[in-house]
A and B are shown apart, each in its own frame.
Chain A
Amino acid sequence: MDIKLQINELEAQAYAELEGVASAAHLEEWRIRYLGKKSRLTEILRGLATLSIEERKTVGAVSNALKLGLEAALGQREASLRDGELALAVSKDAVDISLPGRPFARGHLHPVAQAMNEISSIFTAMGFEVMEGPGVEWDYYNFDMLNMPKEHPARAATDTFWIDAPPNDKGWKMLLRTHTSPMQVRTMERRRPPIRIVVPGLVHRYEATDATHLSMFSQIEGLAVDEGISMADLKGTLHEFARRFFGPERRVRFRCDFFPYVEPGAEMAVECAVCRGDGCRLCGGNGWIEVLGSGMVHPRVLEGVGIDSKKYSGFAFGMGIERIPLLKYGVEDIRHFYGSDLRFLRQF
């Protein structure tokens, strides 16, 4: 048979057969049959040398073209088979995405710790250093040095857990600190101005526990002492804190209040988030939520630690922490915070 005819036949047969190839294995068989070392096409190409120059030209051209054509077709077929197989595999691997994920243990920081961290970091950014003090204190630091000597009415009015222990050799008595303010004194005893510190910590008050009162709660104290610090700095610093913590849209109000270790004394309140100052149940009807007590450090406190109150001045502030998540999340009973109920704690 004429070689050219053979080539034509081969071409028709190969393409026809390729149409029917459905798997990678079949395709390999096809490749061996039509493009393999022992295939007819390879034979023809090998035999070209035996042909006349004239024939070699024509047959060579046709058979090489066929080889290239078959190789290209093989490549295409391979690709389409692969796509088909992938598509099949994908359809087999499809999942019910509505099934729950594999549970991964989830832990949370305590809501009070979260609030404390946030507050501390705002003051840290304003140059205040975080310090901590002892939870069991001497009355000397808790009262005497904070302008509450033994017979001061404010001291009598403070509900204190006293420790059942004899006074030390200086006549100081031990107590559970009623506020974080003793660290004002402890810090000023060790450092000279400029001072900027915040003191987070747990404090105790001798008070029956109910939905709005705890005998143990968290406080954060702040103190800044330097030359030229005035009430304008107090207002500015605390205003900036409120702006960052409560948001710029909440108004802030300062009013006169009394704490024995500051003079003048001030209380800062923020506008109630719910009623925006109109008065509602959350804020007890007056539109404002008390956030902290503050004031200019009392000259007697400065003089007590040997800081010249005519040269230096400072401000101090203290706030209870529990109220903040309490109001933020609308918690109805403050006892939940230290009640260890995971159903409560996991929500924050």
Chain B
Amino acid sequence: MKCSLKWLRRYVDINEQPEALAKRITLAGTEVARVDVVGGWDNVFIGQIAAVGPHPNADRLRLATVCLGAEQMEVVCGAPNLAIGDKIAFARAGAHLIDGHSGEKIVLKPNKIRGVLSEGMICSEIELGLSKNHEGILVLPPDAPLGQKLSDYIGDVIFDLEVTPNRPDMLSILGIAHEVAALTDAAVREPNLDYMCCVRSINESVSVEVRDAELCPRYCAGLVTGVKVGPSPHWLKEALAAAGIRSINNVVDITNFVMMEYGQPLHAFDYDHIGLGKIVVRRAAEGEILMTLDGVERRLGADMLVIADPNRAIAVAGVMGGATSEVTDGTTSVLLESASFKAASIHNTQVCLKLPSEASARFERGIRAELTLPALRRALQLMVELCGATAADGIIDHYPGKKEAVPISLTTAEIKRILGLDIPMSQIEKTLMSLGCQTKSMTDDSLEVTPPYWRSDLRIDADFIEDIARIIGYESIPSRLLSGEMPQQNPEPKLVLRQNVRRILAGFGFQELITYALTNRSTLEKGLGKELPFEPLRVEHPMSSEEECLRTSLRGNVLSALSANIHREEGSICFFEIGHVYLPKTGDLPHEPEILCGVLTSTGAEKVWLGRKEPIDFFDAKGVVEGLFAQLGAKAEFQVSADIGLRVGCQASIMLQNQEVGLLGAIDHKVAQGFDLPANTFLFEMDLTQILTYSHGSARYEMLPRFPVVTRDLALILGSDISHKQVLDIIKGFSLVKKATLFDVYAGKQVSQGKRSLAYSLTFQSSEHTLTDAEVDRVLDAILHKLQSALGATLR
């Protein structure tokens, strides 16, 4: 909302500096986003062209004598529109102007032009920074005061207000005036609404039928005849220009002026184009066509409200008028509409038709039905005054659901309970009255309050308490720390786990990512290496086809991120994301498990001066998972798995207490190709909730051993199909074996085809006595025997 201070001053005296006032308004709830100063010119005065003569040396230039009241000056001027008697803006030497050609700021100096000294300049709009218009000089209205500083005459300050949805009154200059008055302890001068009308009653010419009182709670109409449509006076054009509204003609300009003044949108119909002079307010028929003012044919829906005559729709209520009843130069009778429409209906219609307007912006916020009458009176008054019109007697006011405002009771105790501040009753009353509220004192510490007609947001006691607080100033409210009983805390274990996982993985060198929850089917399927087994949740009207549905897996996003980074990185890349996936459920909100997905890969061996680091392989990935669980105080087991998105033979389920909690493996070749990633890209994926369920989550203490350990190496030859785990399970079955560390895996020339060698370092220890060599030998023999019989192992 652009608010001109000059306009505002019509209703309220402003003694504060614009910047200081802007700050007060901002602190009180409506942010003044910008303060623009129009004018501020030094040495620019209002002059009058006294004479125009030819330039002795140039055909296209002329010499103008400018009268500045007491003195006269001669200037050279090239403008085509020099006319004797016109009031103009005259810049003396030293004026700060904008160069019409370069657009740069200049300081005017006396100048010889083609041999004639020019003592100043007659300014165009561009030189004054008023517009980009360079077509001739700016001609001021004839009543412009001669010799006065131009900045005092047309200078202004424009506040750009960001109005919150609850304050439609701040979309009106009068509403702002009331706000300013309350903040600065001033009084508001409301316009006088009296006007002359003729004896002929409006009811003889106009009738109104409201068929849908829910969508149109109040409909007021007035009639003027003998209208002379023409240009608006300077002050009106200037006021509208300051508000960013283009002047059209006096009738339309008056409706816009009153809308800006009162915040009540009005519409002017050419009365002669309203069939039988009858207004029907009804819902549109489904598919009904109406050509709007902008010349576009609109197809309407049954939930839209239209203003119609008995034959057809003539306007989309509250949104835009129709072309047939538009006020034109030939219009002589005008029916003025000032109505109240249901906010949500206007919003929906405006959105459906893609026709947001100043009017719909006001209706949408829910303006008071009480505004319609004063706004209509004001418009009728201006029509009589500015268009030479005659107003019909009376106003049609259709307001069947009228309710008297119910006073709200306020007590000092309640105000203190909410604000934490003791405010004396007298100050409460004074503050409310400054806002235009009516108050009625009930007891020493309570009163009843009724909001003014322009405020739609004051409904319950909390609303009034806010108004008291914001006018007094939030800075008056004390600051104190919560002192009540501390609520019991039950921190969610998942939050602790998530934080631990993050820190552990970051410690292992993994960078954390956060990617978008909205993705697309193709990315999801590419990441999973298969078609989606179920439909993901889709959003209505996606922003783009890239963000059409909610992710059901993190893989696609994480692999895309890897793909985007891989060409910029050298050596290994590791990162992870912890995020929700969204698994649809019928008739309910989706299941949102929290998933950890990590990836690691390398672009060839890393070059390091200390020796080359080998490319990432499966055991790097597995080491990370094992390390993660070790740090979390859980022991992960691994089982062969068969995930389509992971490579056959190079993937495993991650098991906690015999429950699968995740997967680990090389991404499948097809997946790798899909994201343009190297084959040695590994991924691990776990469900955090599952980890929480199946890990005991804390360390377990074992007493420190008291007896020494004995170590023996055991090199075995086994069939290649025998897994390390099978061997280890047997070895670990012997209670004296405290630790078995695999230190070599070999397959090649030294062993026969189809076999491989596994070498272990075994640590023996008893908790009861010092082991003898003989004892250890006996156990080692037994282990070997068992490995032979169960797995066909032989000593290497």
Binding site for B on A (CB under 8 A): 99-100, 102-110, 112-113, 117, 126-127, 129-132, 134-138, 150-151, 153-154, 156-157, 161-165, 168-169, 174, 176, 194-196, 202, 204, 206, 208-209, 215-216, 224, 226-233, 235-237, 239-240, 253-258, 260, 263-266, 296, 298-300, 313, 337-338, 340-343, 345-346
Q: How far is the CA of A106 from the CA of B573 in the complex (A)?
A: 10
Contact B511 A264 (CB under 8 A): no
CB-CB contacts below 8 Å: B321-339 with A: none
Given contacts A226-B484, A233-B481, A265-B466, contact A216 B511 (CB under 8 A): no
Please state if A129 and B565 are interface contacts (CB–CB under 8 Å): no
| 9 extra A-B contacts, CB within 8 A, seeds A129-B491, A236-B482 | A99-B609, A108-B512, A161-B518, A162-B541, A164-B537, A169-B587, A174-B589, A215-B518, A296-B462
Residues on B lying within 8 angstroms of A by beta carbon are 26-29, 164-167, 342-344, 347-348, 351, 364-366, 416-421, 460, 462-463, 465-466, 469-470, 474-475, 477-487, 489-492, 495, 499, 502-503, 505-518, 537-541, 543, 547, 550, 560-561, 564-565, 568-569, 572-575, 580, 582, 584, 587-590, 592, 606, 608-610, 613
- Give the interface SS of chain A, mostly helix, strand, loop or mixed: mixed
A-B contact pairs, 17 of them (CB 8 A): A107-B506, A108-B506, A108-B511, A112-B514, A113-B514, A137-B589, A151-B343, A209-B543, A215-B543, A224-B482, A226-B485, A236-B479, A254-B474, A255-B29, A260-B166, A263-B463, A345-B511
- Chain A residues near B613 (CB, 8 Å)? 103
- Would A256 and B481 count as touching, CB distance under 8 A? no
Docked complex Cα distance between A215 and B505 (Å) = 28
For B587, the closest partner residue in chain A by CB is: A168
**Whole-angstrom distance between the alpha carbons of A228 and B413 in the complex?**
11
**What 9 A-B pairs have minimum CB-CB distances, sorted nearest first?**
A105-B509, A232-B420, A230-B420, A264-B466, A256-B29, A151-B344, A340-B561, A258-B164, A107-B506
Q: Please, how many angstroms separate the alpha-carbon atoms of A254 and B28 in the complex?
A: 10
Query: Are B470 and A341 within 8 A (Cβ)?
Result: no
Given A107-B574, A135-B580, A231 contacting B477 (CB threshold 8 A): yes
The CA-CA distance from A337 to B516 in the complex, in Å, is 10
User: Which residues of A lie under 8 Å from residue B470 when comparing CB positions?
Assistant: 256, 264
Q: Are B484 and A264 in contact (CB under 8 A)?
A: no
Q: Give chain B residues whose Cβ lies under 8 Å from the Cβ of A228.
A: 417, 484
A229 touches B482 (CB 8 A): yes
Are B511 and A233 closer than 8 Å at their CB atoms?
Answer: no
Looking across the interface, which residue of chain A has its beta carbon closest to that of B490? A129
Task: Chain B residues near A342: list those with CB within 8 A.
Answer: 511, 565, 568-569, 573, 575
Q: Closest CB of chain B to A34's CB: distance in Å?
A: 43
Contact indicator A340/B609 (Cβ below 8 Å): no
Residues of B within 8 A of A161 (CB): 518, 539-540
**Complex Cα distance A100/B489, Å?**
48
Question: Which residue of chain A lies nearest to B582 when distances are taken between CB atoms in the complex?
Answer: A136
B513 & A340 in contact (Cβ 8 Å cutoff): yes
| Bound CA–CA A109/B506 (angstroms) | 6
Q: Which residues of A contact B418 (CB under 8 A)?
A: 230-231, 264, 296, 313
Residue pair A233, B482 in contact (C-beta under 8 Å): yes
Contacts of A255 in B (CB 8 A): 26-29, 474
Given contacts A129-B489, A153-B365, A163-B539, contact A239 B509 (CB under 8 A): no
Nearest chain B CB to A194 CB, angstrom units:
4
Per the bound structure, the CA–CA distance linking A255 and B512 in Å amounts to 37
Q: Are A130 and B491 in contact (CB under 8 A)?
A: yes
Structural contact, A257 and B164, CB atoms closer than 8 A: yes
Inter-subunit contact B420/A298 (CB<8 Å): no
A215-B543, A341-B564 known; A136+B508 contact, CB < 8 A:
no
In chain B, what residue has the closest Cβ to A233?
B482
Q: A135-B580, A236-B481 are in contact. Are A299 and B540 (CB under 8 A)?
A: no
Cβ-defined partner of B417 (8 Å) among A132, A230, A263 = A230
- Chain B residues with Cβ below 8 Å from A226 are 482, 484-485
Q: Are A162 and B460 in contact (CB under 8 A)?
A: no
Q: Which one of A117, A168, A169, A340 contacts B565 once the chains associate, using CB atoms below 8 Å? A: A340
Tell me, in angstroms, the Cα distance from A219 to B610 when the chains sit together: 45
Query: For residue B565, which residues in chain A have a CB less than 8 angstroms away from its CB?
Result: 340-342
Among residues of A, the one whose C-beta sits closest to the C-beta of B572 is A105
**Cα A107 to Cα B590 with chains together (Å):** 32
Contact B486 A102 (CB under 8 A): no
Q: How far is the CA of A153 from the CA of B367 in the complex (A)?
A: 11
* Closest partner residue, chain B, to A285 (CB atom): B34
Contacting pair A215 B506 (CB below 8 A): no
| Residue of A with least CB distance to B573 | A342
Contact status of A195 and B421, CB under 8 A, knowing A103-B608, A107-B574, A256-B470: no
- A81–B574 alpha-carbon span in the complex (Å): 52
On whether the beta carbons of A235 and B509 are closer than 8 Å, the reply is no
B508: A residues at CB distance < 8 A: 105, 107
How far apart are the CA atoms of A204 and B484 in the complex, in Å? 35
Residues on the B chain within 8 Å of A239, using CB: 479
